[in-house]
Structure 1
Amino acid sequence: MDQYSGDEQSYIPQVGDDQKPQIGMRFDSLEDAFSFYNQYARESGFSARMSNTKKSKKTNEIVWKKFVCFKEGHTDDIRWSKQTKKDQPRKERARGETRTGCLSKISVVKEQTGPGWVVSTFVESHNHSLSTPSKVHLLRSHRGISASKKMLSQQFAEANVPTCQQMRLFEIESGGPEHVGFIERDIRNYEQSVRDEHKGIDAETLVDFFESEKEKNSLFFFDYETDSDNRFTRCFWTDHVSRRAYTAFGDVVVFDTTYNTNKYGMIFAPFVGVNHHHQTILFCCGLLSDEKTDSFVWLLNKFLEAMCQGAPNLIITDQDPALTKAISQVFPRTTHRYCLWHILNKFSEKLNPMTFRDHYESIRNAILHSSTDEEFESSWEAAMSNANLEQHDWLSLMFDLRHKWVPAYFNHVFSAGMSSSQRSESSHAFFKRYISSKN
């Protein structure tokens, strides 16, 4: 049994001779040799790593290999600095020392007449304290994520389970952190390696996925464009379920582009509506690299191409000039309505606090409770006069645009009970559970 009094400095591992490397010990491969030495390192309380190699000059095959303690060699006292602002002094700090020149090692040489490897050198002693059994699982060579754990971690990530919670689940499953086999940092490094694998090919991966969906069902529709440098700039897609939903519930469409989904800052543009149960439904989606009129025109034309029923009777969007222009070009017969909720929220920004406190309610009542356009204009004029806001630039602009957002001007148009783009924002909340700026 290991001798351990609770103090790491006084910990002395007791490793049997059968567990120690012995000169002349034979292994079938280098992997077997390192596996044995690494297991010995775990029992002893240190981490092992591969070191020097010698190759045959004739065949270029490895004929000698050394495995060492992770504290072999020395770490230079390297200092680095970061310039925060111009003409400000640099802040310096030194790296912590991780190597102590430990001489513990094992060397193996290749057999001359066979495929095996034989231990030629073994140095047991260390010049540093060894880890206790409760901490040895944290050392680098004794950590590793199995293929099954990697797959499970990916499934957790797809379900939007944070890395810290993933680690807690692995600890519960394994019966404690010492039995997991890795630490949270290893999961984060694995997640980063997965993201690195997709760098430069993520657009191709997306197109390949669309192609595979098209092969599964011919009613899946997609299209995309690249710029002169062959960079992915925009795409549009919808499946057969969403296209069928549009034929039944496509009278009113909500379109909002305020959610960025990935690390490239591309704009996520969902088209949503509401069904006969007043549930939000998704008609189609787009990704855009910018919010220019040309991009919106392209996206709306793809919408028409995919939806056999044609343009909606009513579309609700935010107050975007480029989008307004695109809708007038592509959907000339569609009633375009600005999101009432966004506009009402702007009053607190556009009015000074005292005016907002004293007069916002009368303005809001004029907007929401007017039954006809004449009643609204009369109530608005009275509210502006009482608040002395007749010359307010933003309010004057909004009055000129009243036919785009005031409810009284839409009484004759079926709107499925919607007056804002909050339906789209609720879908953003849904997507946010599964995607982030790291995608």
Structure 2
Amino acid sequence: MEEEKTIGSSRVELNENNIENATEETRNVKDKIEDPKVGMMFNSIDDIMKYYTRYGKEKGFAVAKRSSKKGDDGEVRYVTIACNRAGKPRNRSSNPLKLQSESKTDCKAQLRAVLCPDGKWILNAMVLDHNHGLSPSRTRYYKCNRLLEPHAKKRFASNDKADIRMKKNLKSFVVEAGGHENLSFVEKDCRNKLSCLHLREGDVAAMQDFFLKMQVDNSDFFYTMDFNENGRLRNVFWADARSRATFKEFGDVVMFDTTYLVNKYDIPFAHFVGVNHHGQSTLLGCGLISNEDTETFTWLFQTWLKCMFGCPPCAIITDHDKAMKKAIEIVFPKARHRWCLSHIMEKLSKKLRGYKEYESIKICMQNAVYDSLTKGEFEESWGKFVEKYKLESNEWLLGLYDERRRWVPAFVKDMFWAGMSTTKQGESMHAFFDGYINLKTALKQFLDQYELAIAKKVANENNEDFNSFNLCIPCITHYEMEKQFQSAYTIAKFKEFQQELIGNICCNLFSCKKGTVFSEYELREDVSLGERHRPAIFSVYVNEDTNEVNCNCRLFEFRGILCRHQIMVFIHREVYRIPDKYILKRWSKTVIRSHNKVRISYDNWFVKPEAQRYDKMCKDFFEVANLAADSEDRCEKVMAQIQELKREFENEEGVCGRNKPI
């Protein structure tokens, strides 16, 4: 049975039996923290957290930030900090004979504060009573009260470098402190704070050999190693020459994934992935990181940005993670950040399983997310869903709603995401190294598997390039627009256009409002929602001067493919040849991609005629450059001839067009 709270519950009387403790007891009374009162002022939310944490440590409970609400200006204006045992207990185990431990007791103890006009915070409501026992002597175990001092952290790191085991390392601190109960940290804190990669013998050497080999075989290979203050390897990043060249072509939209852990030491493996002109995933860099915190992600993103010539992506997709979010705001402040929808929906069981009507809640939430075609529809459906199941106080759902612009399909489809879909069938790209690494893969094995995985991806892209050059998907209509896309797009993207062209049969144009500058068309479509169908109204706006066509379904903005509604309006207006702005270079099969010219070791580069010619020219270019570098006149002469050749070849390419070999 837990001990009852004792601090402040009795008066200390001095006599011959306790006079030795008088000084210590007096010090405790002096250091006693003031009880919370309505009207107390604080400079920030952090100050409120620090105060309530100290108060909880004295009284015998732990605290946690419960919820916060933003005003119309997006600034946080209300905050609730509660006992960490707030919330209803939930049984997340599917096996009734193997129930998991649960700390939640639906405790109501909390502080509520509101932001004042002068920027300070004032406590405006509170509940001080707890529905569970309090134990001041046990508060050291709560995470919010554990602290690893800098000197202790440095000593742990030094001992770890000397190969002193963690248990012996910790034992020395226990002896010095006079027992475990006098330590301000636990063993887990020590392991988390060492901030280095826990590699097995030979891993570092294998990594260095791998990097040296890649530098020899790959022109422009990039790698960097990050060491902590004790010289221990903390983080690693690398990108081969092909990945760097690929970024120039397909680095506008990037997915950052930390799905995999390499070897039994749980080293987080992170990689950056883009989408090529066939809709296939393509690697844009890899990293091994010691922690998954904001500081580490910031280092990784900054390193990747430097590797990619200082050009940030326009959009980035990550897991639902606060540390990643903060790092992206620091390194890519102008990039649009979206959360992976599947990662959020996979959390439904963990977050909501404790509710009696879980299955109904799950279906209702999925319908609100997936079936809402507009922002207004989502707002209405979400509101009804939350009200129906009385979920207004669920902090996870509150947080998701506040950040709905980062993950809800109706809110993210207003910009280009390169086909990284938000539909049920494929919310996110599959992990790039599927089938090549798993939780049991050792680092040495991974470095071998890396080249095999990349080689397979390159082979897949080359195969699709050949198919798009050699094969042709027949047109299903007589419209010239279909022939346009047939000749311009890769097979995969032409098929997507054809699906929209076929989708016309589900649409009906029923309204047209003509204007001198803009005209509005309304179409009714029988929309498929899984096994269900429902009618939906879409609006298409046409600029009469430029023939620009915009639809509120936003498919073109989101995927770069003309939607069926735009196609129907073009046909209705007898515009059978689509304006060039709707034919994206990104999906073109006729563009010569620069990354295909990069020398790499895993793609049989040396057997390709174009590769041999490329290397031959580069060798002579370097010799000419060496001869001309010492003279300004020679340099200008070389540059003039290069520019003349460049103009000549560009003119030839324009005449040859799509008949030029790929």
TM-score after normalising by structure 1: 0.51
Distance 2:326 2:200 in 1: 35
Distance 1:355 1:438 in 2: 45
**Letter aligned with residue 387 of structure 1:** Y
Distance 1:391 1:270 in 2: 36
Q: Which residue of 2 aligns with 1:183?
A: none
Secondary structure at the counterpart of residue 315 of structure 1: strand
Q: Which residue of 2 aligns with 1:416?
A: 418
Q: Does 1:371 align with 2:373?
A: yes
- Report if the CA contact (8 A) 1:316-1:419 is conserved: no
Per-residue CA distance 1:201-220 (angstroms, 9 max, x = gap): 42133123313322443311
Q: Which residue of 1 aligns with 2:434?
A: 429
> 1:240: Cα distance to partner?
1.3
Q: Does 1:381 align with 2:386?
A: no
> 1:276: Cα distance to partner?
1.7
Secondary structure at the counterpart of residue 382 of structure 1: helix
Distance 1:336 1:227 in 2: 29
Distance 1:256 1:365 in 2: 27
CA distance 1:436–1:424, shift in 2 (3 Å): farther
> 1:426: Cα distance to partner?
2.8
- Report if the CA contact (8 A) 2:361-2:389 is conserved: yes
- Report if the CA contact (8 A) 1:296-1:326 is conserved: yes
Distance 1:422 1:262 in 2: 28
Q: Does 1:300 align with 2:301?
A: yes
Secondary structure at the counterpart of residue 368 of structure 2: helix
Secondary structure at the counterpart of residue 254 of structure 1: strand
Distance 2:355 2:277 in 1: 42
Per-residue CA distance 1:254-313 (angstroms, 9 max, x = gap): 111131112432110011122121211111100101112111111111111111371111
Q: Which residue of 2 aligns with 1:222?
A: 223
Per-residue CA distance 1:372-414 (angstroms, 9 max, x = gap): 3232112110111122222222211211121111111112111
> 1:435: Cα distance to partner?
6.9
Larger Rg: 1
CA distance 1:205–1:422, shift in 2 (3 Å): farther
Q: Which residue of 2 aligns with 1:340?
A: 341
Q: Which residue of 2 aligns with 1:312?
A: 313
Q: What are the within-5 Å matches in structure 2 for residues 7-86 of structure 1?
A: none
Q: Does 1:264 align with 2:269?
A: no
CA distance 1:423–1:206, shift in 2 (3 Å): farther
Distance 1:428 1:216 in 2: 22
> 1:433: Cα distance to partner?
6.6
Distance 2:347 2:200 in 1: 40
Q: Which residue of 1 aligns with 2:653?
A: none
Distance 1:347 1:246 in 2: 35
CA distance 1:359–1:423, shift in 2 (3 Å): closer
Q: Which residue of 1 aligns with 2:277?
A: 276
Q: Which residue of 2 aligns with 1:401?
A: 403
Secondary structure at the counterpart of residue 312 of structure 1: coil
**Letter aligned with residue 351 of structure 2:** K
Distance 2:339 2:324 in 1: 11
> 1:331: Cα distance to partner?
0.4
Per-residue CA distance 1:331-380 (angstroms, 9 max, x = gap): 00111111110111212222235422223222212112223323211211
Distance 1:333 1:402 in 2: 18
Distance 1:369 1:309 in 2: 39
Extract unaligned runs of 5+ from structure 1: 1-197
- Report if the CA contact (8 A) 2:298-2:331 is conserved: yes
Q: Does 1:255 align with 2:256?
A: yes
Q: Which residue of 1 aligns with 2:195?
A: none
**Letter aligned with residue 359 of structure 2:** R
Q: Does 1:209 align with 2:210?
A: yes
CA distance 1:435–1:350, shift in 2 (3 Å): closer
CA distance 1:269–1:311, shift in 2 (3 Å): same
CA distance 1:223–1:434, shift in 2 (3 Å): same
Distance 1:348 1:372 in 2: 26
Distance 1:427 1:316 in 2: 14
Task: Give me the CA root mean square deviation.
Answer: 2.4
Distance 1:417 1:350 in 2: 29
Q: Which residue of 1 aligns with 2:351?
A: 350
**Letter aligned with residue 396 of structure 2:** W
Distance 1:295 1:424 in 2: 24
> 1:434: Cα distance to partner?
11
Secondary structure at the counterpart of residue 432 of structure 1: coil
Q: Percent identity?
A: 40
CA distance 1:264–1:318, shift in 2 (3 Å): same
CA distance 1:228–1:327, shift in 2 (3 Å): same
Deviates further, 300-309 or 353-362: 353-362
Secondary structure at the counterpart of residue 319 of structure 1: coil
The number of residues matched between the two structures is: 242
- Report if the CA contact (8 A) 2:263-2:439 is conserved: no
Distance 2:323 2:406 in 1: 15
Q: Which residue of 2 aligns with 1:149?
A: none
- Report if the CA contact (8 A) 2:312-2:335 is conserved: yes
**Letter aligned with residue 416 of structure 1:** A
> 1:419: Cα distance to partner?
4.6
Distance 1:319 1:381 in 2: 22
Distance 1:419 1:320 in 2: 20
**Letter aligned with residue 427 of structure 1:** F
Q: Which residue of 2 aligns with 1:323?
A: 324
- Report if the CA contact (8 A) 1:347-1:356 is conserved: no
